[in-house]
Structure 1
């Protein structure tokens, strides 16, 4: 094994190849050279596992309901400006995905078909069968692989960041941070990583983007891939980069129960949105399945404790068979492989760690408290989700704020972006009025 360090240079290094990292790369100016890293294979990113779908504001009258659903689910601890940006950017993001070839389910007239999940007051979720994450990630990956300015390195793990004293003239990002009284004495200029052969790789870059996922790999039972071990959090702590809400971890109510070790298989919330019911050992319904995830998970835990059992049951008896084998095709097939026919019998389910609402603190531009360092996706905390994430907001939030990171990187270099911003930076008209009212709601209302 060689002890020599391989030195690489690029304009932007992106750590992570899920939807956040890929969409960021697609939104960067083509003049910039980009290196992307995947800790394992690209197929082992949590974006591939997302089942339910991606939210969208599908009408002007949906701004306030969408906002309220997100706040209520997040226990009103959400950062209002982030929620506003996510909702107003949603339609342009969905249009962009469709233009990139993402195949969302359609109605007979060709319009987008929406499904509903827990804590949503209406159906507003675009989906592709029960593999929406894989559909979006695959199409984004196909598009990124066609870019001559982007190079992907698989099986390459970030160990640290490169920092230097910040003697540069104040940039837009640094100026924003000074205004927030943040430390700008050091500046990120890339990362240090190692490949499969343990060889050290030093990548110097004028902008670094963390898109390396959450913390599921640190849990005994999680729907995440085991490689997601909070690498960015560890490095952020070592460099005094601000973190936020690191105790905000979401437990998903329904993963398929099995005594076998390994990643838990998710049973999408959209199953309950389409009529699947939670039953106790006597076959009786014991909770409202469409409450927020933390509420449903708590109800299941209480039921298991009451019965002294290690799971409850999920029945698809109210879901039409053709809906099961089309909309939930992969869940149906996986359960069959495990010995359960969900068209004929209930399946055993149990809560599992699913999502991390906290992370590396970022602003509305996805900038961290260290200049030239951005964080996006589940690695970051922009405050959208509050204390508990609304179902199917994760893919949308990741795409919106990864795009904003790319735009900020381009703006600092006075370069045009492939997909310019089509929504206003701040709400106007009726949306501005609704936004102001939501900003006045105190967190205490959910106590």
Structure 2
């Protein structure tokens, strides 16, 4: 089967959907999703989205992002992120995202390493709400077609130009030829034993980039979230206990009930302290306590966390939540410029699969969805300007002889072997080596 389109978008999370919505309506767009179209990490994001609190906050927001990233960030990328944050949050509001408000306007919460409250949110399911609204907007577009359960196995290329992708759906090979292709395939959490990510997010875009000599960057920068709900099962997605709980006053305590860390330090530092505390107290986890807060407040502010913890036998209104670090985010990825362009012509990468350099060595809380918004819109606008002069170049691939499982294993092994060479200390955290 063959498809010909103007733009191919691989991935249906915030970066893929928002780029689609910012492309011209006169372009034919094909989107593919590895699983269900809403089966992405965007839908799992709880805390919210960072945004500058007016232009007077730009310098402080920039400094908070740089400090969290150990000053290894790309300063130009950080400036773009911060300066364009207000416009993109306004655009989401116009699309119908109903962030929490009071009589003064948008409500703002705070998370670790932020100097002030600057995070907009929807209850404790911000990502799910954003995903729902963007997906509904995309589905209403006549120029956009989405294929679910359609798995990318290789890109099509002509020398150093991407001309589309080879996918498999229902055991059938589909060759999609496109003027421009966008990788929005997400991070790497599915290759870790303990991760807050969807299990199908296994770094496919990054693996394919490595196999095709597309430039990658900072592959050793992997973030562990300090507070995932602790359970002893392996190879299952860990339920995230949002950092916004600590932003609202939640306390981290050890198994003796003692507080041991400033909860609003950056994620890497809090994670380090938790790991040290587990060793010191000979325990498998620590606890996040919010039981001293009003039940009415907890049920209104964190309804999803309350329900999920209750399903696992913990009433957060009465007892502390067992937590432990889990892999959460990938700061590295495919090296891109400020418009999401990769080192291969006509190939863009947006969201967690990309490395804009905005996060440096450690991502500041709630900057992930913002990055996906800011740079996918910039990229889409650039595509709109340049695609008129492009033509679809039909690259005829040979019939794939291998199974889908072969490509899944190939991509996983390429990524795992690469990561282990860079970060031998994570070897035991991975599903297989």
- State TM-score, norm by structure 2: 0.88
How many Å apart are 1:319 and its aligned residue?
3.0
Does structure 1 retain, via aligned residues, the 8 Å contact 2:38–2:131?
no
| 2:320 corresponds to 1:346 | yes
Map of 1:250 onto structure 2: 223
Q: How many Å separate the matches in 1 of 2:203 and 2:97?
A: 29
Q: Deviations over 1:323-374 (max 9, x none)?
A: 2101111000111111111011101100000000000000011000000000
Map of 1:171 onto structure 2: none
| 2:204 corresponds to 1:209 | no
Q: How many Å separate the matches in 1 of 2:282 and 2:177?
A: 55
Q: How many Å separate the matches in 2 of 1:357 and 1:390?
A: 10
Q: Deviations over 1:189-248 (max 9, x none)?
A: 1000101x2110000000000000000000000000111111111111111100000010
Selected match of 1:52 from 31, 47, 50: 47
Q: How many Å separate the matches in 2 of 1:146 and 1:345?
A: 45
1:343-382 matched pairs, under 5 angstroms: 343-382=317-356
Map of 2:7 onto structure 1: 12
Q: Deviations over 1:143-172 (max 9, x none)?
A: 00010000000000000000113xxxxxxx
How many Å apart are 1:318 and its aligned residue?
4.2
Selected match of 1:319 from 293, 308, 325: 293
Map of 1:88 onto structure 2: 83
Extract unaligned runs of 5+ from structure 2. Answer: 390-433
Does structure 2 retain, via aligned residues, the 8 Å contact 1:274–1:319?
no
How many Å apart are 1:260 and its aligned residue?
3.0
How many Å apart are 1:294 and its aligned residue?
0.2
Q: Deviations over 1:82-119 (max 9, x none)?
A: 1111111111111111111101001133x000000000
Map of 1:28 onto structure 2: 23
Selected match of 1:101 from 75, 96, 109: 96
Map of 2:116 onto structure 1: 122
1:31-430 matched pairs, under 5 angstroms: 31-109=26-104, 111-165=105-159, 186-195=160-169, 197-261=170-234, 262-413=236-387
Q: How many Å separate the matches in 2 of 1:233 and 1:346?
A: 38
How many Å apart are 1:414 and its aligned residue?
5.5
Aligned residues: 388
- State TM-score, norm by structure 1: 0.86
Does structure 1 retain, via aligned residues, the 8 Å contact 2:292–2:317?
no
